[in-house]
Amino acid sequence: MIINKENKTDIIKASILTLLYALFFSTIYIGERSVIYISIYCILSVNLSVLIASNIKSKKEVYFKSSLIKKLIVGFILGWIMWPGFGELVGPIIGFYLSSKKKVDATNFSFQKYAWNQFKKNKIALVSLYLLGTLILIARFAPLIANNQPLYAVYKGVTMYPAFEDKKTTVEIKNLQTGEIEKLQYDITDWRKLDLESVIFTPIPYSVDFFDKENNDYVSPNDKQEFTNHKGELIDSPTRFRHHLGTDGKGADLLSGLIHGTRIALKVGLISMGIASFIGIILGAFAGFFGDRDLKMRRVKYYMTLIGLFFGFFYGFGQRKYAISDGFSQSNSEGMIEFTISILIILGITYIFRLSSRLITNKWLSTEISVPIDSMVSRGIEILNSIPRLILIITVTAIMDRSLTIIMVIIGITGWTGIARFTRAEFLRIKSLEYVQASKSLGFSSIRTIFKHALPNALAPVFVSIAFGIASAILIESGLSFLGIGVPDDVVTWGSLLNLGRGNIEAWWLIIFPGIAIFITITIYNMIAEASRDALDPRLKS
Amino acid sequence: MLKYTLKRLLAFIPMIIAISLIAFIISINAPGDPVESLTKAAGNEGGAEKQSGTAKKDKQKLRKKWGLDLPLFYFSVSDMASCDTLYKVQDRDQRENLERLIHEFGNWSAVNKYYKSLLELQKEQQNIDIESMCKQDTTLDKNKVNEALNQIGFNIVGLLEENKKELVNGKYEILDKLISAETYFPELISPYKLVVKKRESLSKKSTKWKTYIPSINWYGINSQYHWWVFGDLFHSKEAKRKGIIRGDFGVSYKDSQPIKNKIWDKVGISFTLSLLSILIAYLISLPIGIYSAYKKDSKIDKGISLVLFMLYSLPSFFVGTVLLLFFANPDTLLWFPESGIKDPINYNPDWSIFNWERIQHQLPYLVLPLITYTYSSFAFLSRIMRVGMIEIVSQDYIRTARAKGLSENKVILKHALRNSLLPIITVFAAIFPMCVGGSIIIEVIFSIPGMGTEMFNAILNYDYPMIIAFFTLIGFLTMIGYLVADLLYAVVDPRISYK
């Protein structure tokens, strides 16, 4: 971090503003009063803002101020959509960072801009992008779109906002005349049948775990649907409460299942490919950048690294296996904390061993040797590719507990090979370019050269591979749920809905609609991937 | 050519080792104790029998027979405190509990003494004869005594298998009450006191530091992994099993039949279907790819591309179910039978493979599965064919051929086609595992009695040896697919050197 005379005032201003914002966010907005949380928020955001503000070089230019407000607001909204509760804090800071970056002059040629223009020419791909945005919105607002708890309801003089509150909330309503107390638990109550004075239902008044007892035997979308109103009369279902896409055998609404399934489909695609691209990009970058010959270290350091890794794994995983398994049996977050501690132990021990190699000055041990990192990664990719992926995933899920997290992790761990290959190829090309050579000759460390100079230019083709990967991850997850061996039974996904249709082939709506949902999502991702590949392919440039 | 083949074969060895290792790791992590499952499969499992001597001996025999009393791998990495013969402890839960105790206290001899004292207590408890006790002392309430004894037995088993601190403490409280406070069983008091003493000495003699020092134990070829892969190939002793290298995958948990008898014909069905569908896919996709590359950027090409793209994105399970819904459904169209691969009534098992009548009988059953199998790889192949062809057509030698005045047909079919075949052959290596993997879903949809359905049933029945067997087998067969693709490539492309 460089703090000098010129940017001192900027940094002070920015940190004070962010501090105030973080305080406002934690105490007023989310009502968090615990000192630890407030201080974490404050420290984090002040640090970030100082980091960003120290790099502002362009604050005098006109666009900076105009884009700052815009980007702060967009950051807030996007942060709220992506990660409510914390995104609102991080989003504006990211917006601040983006607006602080020097804008490329409009007349200059930039590859990103060129690629984006190329992408925009493909109308189908553009529509796909909008559709993806719509899907994300649907997934984000699923509880407000399909929910059996109304958005707003007045019952016997009590005003409630059930859809916005925790579904286990219980409200006690006292009848003024008789003195009886009526208890309403939000998720159990059948709101449709209450004599509500005033009500706003969600567009689809059914949740995934709400079972309509009158229409519980595979009711088709155009069949007669029954409904008991609050007077106890059995009537034809009013359009408001019709199941527009039918129900399954238990009476759960299909449309609601599809909407909530969007969440899981997108989550599976994003998280599993996040894991895969993390592994793939790092391994591919190292393999491509260093090749078999360029990663040189003293022989003793190489051996010490290997010994350090051995000890690291021994103390990190062997010694702590019970701590990790106990953590995961308590809760996922507890387990992740233990797991992170183990990783830190491994890194620390390896680092200590590498440091200790400096003490040894034997001549033979000090000769430089090269580490064949490219061969190692390539063999790893070959081995993983030689096993049919779906079979591997099915086998592993068969011996594990059924859980969505495990499936996402497995898909991620088996899916990095394509990304690694693309990154490696791109790094092979980039490493001989002038700017990488320049950064090398300036004496920057390899890590800095890789992640700061080379990686941003290598990401474009990798992005295509990630987009294809998301499509195949969604496909794999829905295939597993279709077989009924993927997610637990109480999680509703598109695949599990289709599975219900396979069990009862007369219920065509349970086959067609989830299938179309899967198909559309996969097509969207494939379209975007295909169009961006065309846009990024330099051969089409002429 | 021979040299090239041998070279490729050598390159596959690490992959085969990796596959077998992954399969082995998965199999030893499968939940439950293998011997318990095997005895359950043999049908002699009973609550009372669990502790009896004969059942225990049977289990020991089984364990020996399947080599489960051996160490897992050629070597093991553990810490100094742990005992290198721990794998001999029979019960899986007890073994894990012991491991944990050693990890906690770091003193194997103390843990061993504690464990032995517990076993002694259990033995004493099992020796108590309530009938004779009641005869001697008629004032005793038989039911009460019986219940107390059962309680004690239950808690001792719990102590042997449980390692959560609160639960263990709770169990000791109950035992305290049952053994020391009530005086039904005076013979249990002294062994129980020994147990308590040993438990105290556990924490007194704790040498936790030992767990921080790593140690490597070498077991040699007498290990579970070696038996699993090679069987008695390198042993002159009595035959335990033959090893997967000679097709022995152990026995199924479901009916304790040898797996190798059960799977070979299933594998045959699945692979025939996969290969047949790949063949059909190649046959259809070649002309489509060539045609749309030839008419590049025309309306037909764009239409074909879009349709192929859509097909490529359609999940196969959706297509399969929709085909069933429309063409094998009494409500819509009953053109094809719903499930299976042969006519249950008119089918004659003596028919040879190419018998016309047999084909006639089986064809309707195969149409829908084959469509489902074929279409995704066909879309994939056509797209690759098209791209490859477009690239080839812009090459110099094609321009030369045209300049020579050759007819367009000759240019495309003779000069361009051969070269554009190269990428499509490489793709075989990618399509083959895709097809085999997809076969699980498709076979389940159409109830084809092949490998996929069998694997699916094995998963539903927790039949782990079966799952592992299929996994290993598919891995090996995929390897063969890769080899075939490599060799084909070398045959077609003279630029690849055989040396």
pLDDT digits (tens, 9 = 90+) for B15-37: 888 888 988 888 888 887 777 77
The pLDDT value given to residue A297: 85
In whole angstroms, what separates CA B251 from the centre of its chain?
13
- Nearest chain A alpha carbon to B332: A506
CB-based contact, B15 to chain A, within 8 Å: yes
- Give the gap in angstroms from C-alpha B305 to the nearest C-alpha of chain A: 12
Same domain, A430 and A514: yes
The residue among B19, B466, B94 whose CA lies nearest residue B263 is B466
- Mean pLDDT over B424-453 rounds to 80
The pLDDT value given to residue B45: 47
- Nearest chain A alpha carbon to B325: A505
Chain B partners within 8 Å of A388 (Cβ)? 433-434, 436-437, 474-475, 478
The pLDDT value given to residue B157: 85
CB-based contact, B459 to chain A, within 8 Å: yes
Q: Is A414 within 8 Å of A384 (Cβ atoms)? A: yes
Residue A207 lies in a domain: no
Contacts of B30 (CB under 8 A, 6+ apart): A399, B464, B468
CB-based contact, B394 to chain A, within 8 Å: no
Residue A69 lies in a domain: yes
Which residue type is seen at B490? Answer: A
Q: How confident is the model at residue B48 (pLDDT cuts 50, 70, 90)?
A: very low
Domain boundary among the residues A326, A346, A370 is at A370
Q: Between vectors from CA A347 to CA A341 and to CA A352, what angle results, nearest 5°?
A: 125
The pLDDT value given to residue A541: 39
Across the interface, do A522 and B315 touch by the CB < 8 Å criterion?
yes
Q: Tell me the percentage of chain A whose pLDDT exceeds 90.
A: 23
Domain boundary among the residues A370, A396, A428 is at A370
Across the interface, do B445 and A502 touch by the CB < 8 Å criterion?
yes
The pLDDT value given to residue B49: 46
CB-based contact, A512 to chain B, within 8 Å: yes
Q: How confident is the model at residue A274 (pLDDT cuts 50, 70, 90)?
A: very high
Q: Tell me the percentage of chain A whose pLDDT exceeds 70.
A: 92
Same domain, A480 and A514: yes
Q: How confident is the model at residue A539 (pLDDT cuts 50, 70, 90)?
A: low
Q: Is B216 within 8 Å of A314 (Cβ atoms)? A: no
A242: left (phi over 0), alpha (psi -120 to 50) or beta: beta
User: Can you read off the two tokens belonging to residue A530?
Assistant: 């295909």
More confident residue, B474 or B87: B474
Residue A120 lies in a domain: no
Q: Which of B31, B309, B321 sits opposite A498 (nearest CB)?
A: B321
Q: How confident is the model at residue B237 (pLDDT cuts 50, 70, 90)?
A: low
* DSSP track, A380-443: HHHHHHTS-HHHHHHHHHHHS---HHHHHHHHHHHS-HHHHHHHHHHHHHHTTSHHHHHHHHTT
The pTM of this model reads 0.84
State yes or no: pLDDT of A300 exceeds 70: yes
The pLDDT value given to residue A32: 63
**Main-chain dihedrals φ then ψ at residue B461, nearest 5 degrees:** -95, 5
The pLDDT value given to residue B380: 83
Q: How confident is the model at residue B46 (pLDDT cuts 50, 70, 90)?
A: very low
Same domain, A361 and A308: yes
SS3 A497: helix
User: Can you read off the two tokens belonging to residue A278?
Assistant: 């993390």
Same domain, A281 and A407: yes
Across the interface, do B471 and A392 touch by the CB < 8 Å criterion?
yes
Same domain, A390 and A278: yes
CB-based contact, B13 to chain A, within 8 Å: no
Distance (Å, whole) CA B196 – CA B184: 19
* DSSP track, A498-514: HHHHHHSTT-THHHHHH
State yes or no: pLDDT of A332 exceeds 50: yes
- Mean pLDDT over A261-273 rounds to 92
Taking only residues 405 to 444 of chain B, the set having a beta carbon closer than 8 angstroms to any beta carbon of chain A reads 433-434, 436-438, 440-441, 444
Domain boundary among the residues A228, A251, A274 is at A251
CB-based contact, A382 to chain B, within 8 Å: yes
Residue A118 lies in a domain: no
Same domain, A226 and A77: no
Strand-pair partners of A199: A153
CB-based contact, A348 to chain B, within 8 Å: no
Distance (Å, whole) CA A151 – CA A160: 8
Chain A partners within 8 Å of B22 (Cβ)? 387, 392
Q: What is the mean pLDDT of chain B?
A: 80
Which residue type is seen at B246? Answer: R
Residue with tokens 């010959």: A293
Q: Which domain range does residue A67 map to?
A: 5-100
Residue A390 lies in a domain: yes
Same domain, A408 and A476: yes
State yes or no: pLDDT of A308 exceeds 60: yes
- Mean pLDDT over A227-247 rounds to 81
Same domain, A19 and A138: no
Same domain, A437 and A348: no
Strand-pair partners of A173: A182
Taking only residues 292 to 311 of chain A, the set having a beta carbon closer than 8 angstroms to any beta carbon of chain B reads 310-311
The pLDDT value given to residue A265: 92
Q: Alpha carbon of B118 to those of A78, B123, B158, B186: distances in Å?
A: 61, 9, 11, 17
The pLDDT value given to residue A37: 74
Q: What is the mean pLDDT of chain A?
A: 84
Count the domains in chain A.
5
- Give the gap in angstroms from C-alpha B271 to the nearest C-alpha of chain A: 14
Residue A123 lies in a domain: no
- pLDDT tens profile B164-219: 888 888 888 888 887 776 667 777 888 888 888 888 888 888 888 888 888 888 88
SS3 A147: coil
- Give the gap in angstroms from C-alpha B257 to the nearest C-alpha of chain A: 21
More confident residue, B362 or B117: B117
CATH number at residue A437: 1.10.3720.10
Q: Which of A227-231, B162-166, B197-201, B249-253 has the highest mean pLDDT?
A: B197-201
The pLDDT value given to residue A540: 47
The pLDDT value given to residue A469: 92
More confident residue, A382 or B495: A382
Looking at the predicted complex, does its ipTM rise above 0.85? no
The pLDDT value given to residue A283: 94
Out of A228-232, A377-381, A395-399, B223-227, pick the least confident: A228-232
Residue A505 lies in a domain: yes
- pLDDT tens profile B391-424: 888 888 888 988 988 888 888 888 888 777 777 7
The pLDDT value given to residue A281: 94
Same domain, A317 and A334: yes
Across the interface, do A511 and B26 touch by the CB < 8 Å criterion?
no
Q: How confident is the model at residue A420 (pLDDT cuts 50, 70, 90)?
A: very high
Same domain, A247 and A322: no
Q: Which of B30, B313, B325 sits opposite A399 (nearest CB)?
A: B30
Structural domains of chain B sorted by starting position, each given as residue range(s) with its CATH number in brackets = 67-71+221-249 (no CATH), 75-218 (no CATH), 259-492 (1.10.3720.10)
Same domain, A434 and A517: yes
Residue A115 lies in a domain: no
- Mean pLDDT over A14-38 rounds to 76
